[in-house]
Every structure is written in C-alpha cells, then in structure tokens.
Amino acid sequence: MPEPVLSNAPEISVTELSQALRRTVEDTFGYVRVRGEVSGYRGPHSSGHAYFCLKDEGARIDAVVWRTSFSKLKFKPEEGMEVIATGRLTTYPGKSTYQIVIDVLEPAGVGALLAQLEERRKRLAAEGLFDEARKRPLPYLPEVIGVVTSPTGAVIRDILHRLAERFPRRVLVWPVRVQGETAAAEVA
C-alpha cells in the first residue's frame, strides 16, 4: 500500500471551497450574454422559476430564470429554440455545478423571430382563422364585457362602478385568484 503524501496545504471545508469557487466564477465573469439552444425546458416550475439548459455543438450550461424575472420576460423560452440569454454566472454548491441566472432572454436574431411568427401564421391559416368567410364587422360598442378577476376584491367594484357611470353594459365576471401560487394559471 502506498504511503500517503503529506502536504503543507491548509485544510478547508467543502463549504469554504464552494464559496471560494463561487466568488471566483462571479468575479471573473460577472454579467454575460450567451447564445445557445434551449434544452430540457418543460415550462415554469410550480415555484414560478424556470429551469433548463443552454447548449451548442460542444457544451451545455444549466440555466435558471427566477420567478420575478420570468414574469418580466418579453419572450418566453421554447424547447429547441436558439436564444441569446443575458445574466450572471454563479455556482450551485448543492450539486457542484455552475449555471447562468438569466435576466433577459431574446430570440437569436431577427430571422429567428420572423421564422417563429411565420410558423404561427401558417398554423393559424391552416386552421382557417384568416378566411374571408369568417370575418365579421366589429360592433361599434360591445354588448357584453368580460372581466377576469377576483369577484370579492376592490378592483371589480371599481370596474363595475366606472362602467355603470360611463358606459352601462352587461358585465360577466370570471372568478379567479389574483394572488398566490395558482393565480397565474387561473388567470391564463
């Protein structure tokens, strides 16, 4: 059995090493813009955060979009889509990995966005949604107004008051929670 090699290197804990690695990664790279393909995206987690990977032909990096940033994204990720992600690099000590925490996400180039729009236009046209026979003139004033909100909050009372005062119409209320974890799904 070989003899153990003794060293003068100071002994540090796993936590101390992880914290030092995190400082090194965050201080060295700071804010970055990364181009890659979205992989492993299954929509936002029940927490509201989104987890996926960005990859190219030679590498991959874990990515996370925190709930507060995800709600502000003008463009939502989709599996297989090429994107440019802007965020900061950090480490996740629980798995000894590094990741990008994304603040801004955009399609990779105008061509990608135009291709996405064209694909949607073709899909909707195939469903017949643009056919002339389906088109109807818009009424001058709506007969019924639908409101998606909490039926017990101050907002609906304010809406009903303003409508009765300025624009009396029949109002349909679709009751949903407007706060809490299930609010976004209910409203959608």
What is the CATH number for 25? Answer: 2.40.50.140
Distances (CA, A) of 141 to 128, 138, 162: 27, 8, 16
**Residue 7 belongs to a domain:** no
pLDDT for res 111: 64
pLDDT at 113 over 70: no
Mean pLDDT of the chain: 87
Q: Which of 19, 57, 23 is nearest to 37 (CA)?
A: 57
Full residue range of the structural domain in which residue 66 is found? 14-109
Q: Is 21 in the same domain as 93?
A: yes
pLDDT at 142 over 90: no
Q: Tell me if the pTM is above 0.75.
A: no
Q: Which of 114, 120, 101 is nearest to 29 (CA)?
A: 101
Distances (CA, A) of 89 to 35, 45, 69, 171: 14, 21, 15, 49
